[in-house]
């Protein structure tokens, strides 16, 4: 599933291609895709795209007359941009054709197809956006706010990092990377963190995400991509491979159906879990 760094690069690269273009035609190709607004998204026709922003794992396409198309790619969705003359594949669930004879297409090759879009005039009133916590790269993500959100929760810190209501945009892969960057065990509980550890974790969040954005950008340049680019990560997806810092084999556990990778040595996992 794409996370904040992937979406930031997609956002930037799509903006370079699409801003200032007008929509000439819309085709919604899967019932249930549109969560808010007319199911055929007809109001988009004729509107010019002014901006693309991101909130958590949602991309917000801002069209003229304050019309917003919000897109959540969920698990398997990807965005494709190219010439309208290219054949539309069976797994394409949304096509926005632009005035320059190019299409922006939402493609969902895996099942279940659960990507979602909303058409609205005020994104702050859309349910999934109402529930989001601060953006980790924004000014509202302060140490005070983060410490308060952690509070004395008896929750595993990895789960807290993935809780979109506490901090927006982080999923399974970057939660692992952030914990490695902070040199904290993914199995620690929030209430056991000392103040200096909370600060270290808070700093690691934007640092890790900014680093990842740069690494992805280096690999894709101006292009889009149809699967996550994760070859540069230190721990996630590297079970058994030597840690790039200390050489210890990267560990892996499954809990609640999700893979967690960590370096037992760098992240001090041999410490008893309290």
List of residues contacting Zn ion (CB under 5 A) = 243, 245-246, 248, 263, 265-266
CA 30 – CA 230 distance, rounded (Å): 30
Q: How far apart are the first and last CA of the chain?
A: 31
User: Taking the complex as a whole, how short is the minimal distance between the CB of residue 261 and Zn ion, in angstroms?
Assistant: 11
DSSP state string for 206-227: HHHHHHHHHHHHHHHTT---SS
User: Taking the complex as a whole, how short is the minimal distance between the CB of residue 82 and Zn ion, in angstroms?
Assistant: 41
User: Taking the complex as a whole, how short is the minimal distance between the CB of residue 203 and Zn ion, in angstroms?
Assistant: 19
Q: Which is nearer to Zn ion, 168 or 250 (CB)?
A: 250
CA 32 – CA 191 distance, rounded (Å): 41
CA 225 – CA 10 distance, rounded (Å): 8
Q: Which is nearer to Zn ion, 99 or 271 (CB)?
A: 271
Q: Which of 187, 191, 30 is nearest to 113 (CA)?
A: 30
Q: Which is nearer to Zn ion, 1 or 245 (CB)?
A: 245
When CB distances to Zn ion are compared, the closest residue is 243
Number of H helices and E strands in the chain, helices first, is 6, 11
Q: Which is nearer to Zn ion, 59 or 269 (CB)?
A: 269
User: Taking the complex as a whole, how short is the minimal distance between the CB of residue 266 and Zn ion, in angstroms?
Assistant: 3
User: Taking the complex as a whole, how short is the minimal distance between the CB of residue 12 and Zn ion, in angstroms?
Assistant: 32
Q: Which is nearer to Zn ion, 78 or 262 (CB)?
A: 262
């Amino acid at each position: 599933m794409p996370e904040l760094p992937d979406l930031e690069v997609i956002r930037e690269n799509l903006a370079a291609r699409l801003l200032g273009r007008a929509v000439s035609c819309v085709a919604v190709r899967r019932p249930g895709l549109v969560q808010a607004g007319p199911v055929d998204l007809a109001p988009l026709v004729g509107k010019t795209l002014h901006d693309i922003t991101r909130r958590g794992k949602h991309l917000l396409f801002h069209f003229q007359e304050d019309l917003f198309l919000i897109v959540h790619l969920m698990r398997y969705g990807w965005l494709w941009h190219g010439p309208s003359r290219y054949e539309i594949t069976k797994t394409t669930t949304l096509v926005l054709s632009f005035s320059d004879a190019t299409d922006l297409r939402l493609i969902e090759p895996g099942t279940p197809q659960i990507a979602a879009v909303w058409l609205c005039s005020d994104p702050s009133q859309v349910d999934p956006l109402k529930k989001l916590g601060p953006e980790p790269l924004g000014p509202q993500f302060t140490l005070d706010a983060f410490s308060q959100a952690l509070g004395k929760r008896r929750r595993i810190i990895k789960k807290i990092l993935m809780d979109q209501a506490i901090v927006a945009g982080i999923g399974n892969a970057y939660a692992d990377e952030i914990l490695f960057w902070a040199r904290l065990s993914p199995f620690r509980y929030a209430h056991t963190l000392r103040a200096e550890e909370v600060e270290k974790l808070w700093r690691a969040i934007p640092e890790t995400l900014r680093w990842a954005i740069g690494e992805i950008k280096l690999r894709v340049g101006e292009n889009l991509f149809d699967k996550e680019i994760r070859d540069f990560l230190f721990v996630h997806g590297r079970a058994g491979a030597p840690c790039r810092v200390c050489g210890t084999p990267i560990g892996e556990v499954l809990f609640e159906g999700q893979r967690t990778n960590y370096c037992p040595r760098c992240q001090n996992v041999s410490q008893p879990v309290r």
